[in-house]
């Protein structure tokens, strides 16, 4: 799927320039793999096959967003625009 937009500037730098500044220490490699997977996947159903990343859709006022487990309290969140077949609003969030 095409990656359309980022919320987190550090993730955008990692994706476009392979630069790891502004990312939590020790997380850049995992985040790079996650971004690569998102770019390479053809269907959102593929996310469910990654039990180690604990992929799930959020609920409530965040319905329609996906979350992937990065560390104990950090998550990679994003939306999927099914019409355009694009990943949008990729963010790195501290859940605690």
* DSSP-based helix, strand, coil % in the chain, nearest 5: 35, 30, 35
CA–CA separation, 12 and 63 (whole Å): 23
Q: Residue 56 catalytic?
A: no
Options 8, 56, 69, 96, the catalytic residue: 96
Ranges of H-type helices in the chain: 9-17, 28-40
Name the residues annotated as catalytic. Answer: 96
């Amino acid at each position: 799927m095409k990656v359309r937009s980022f919320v987190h500037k550090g993730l955008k730098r990692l994706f476009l320039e392979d630069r790891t500044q502004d990312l939590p220490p020790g997380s850049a490699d995992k985040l790079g793999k996650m971004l690569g997977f998102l770019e390479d996947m053809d269907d959102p159903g593929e996310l469910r096959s990654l039990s180690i990343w604990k992929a799930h859709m959020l609920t409530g006022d965040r319905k329609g967003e996906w979350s992937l487990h990065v560390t104990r309290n950090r998550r990679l969140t994003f939306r999927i625009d099914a019409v355009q077949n694009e990943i949008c609003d990729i963010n790195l969030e501290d859940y605690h």
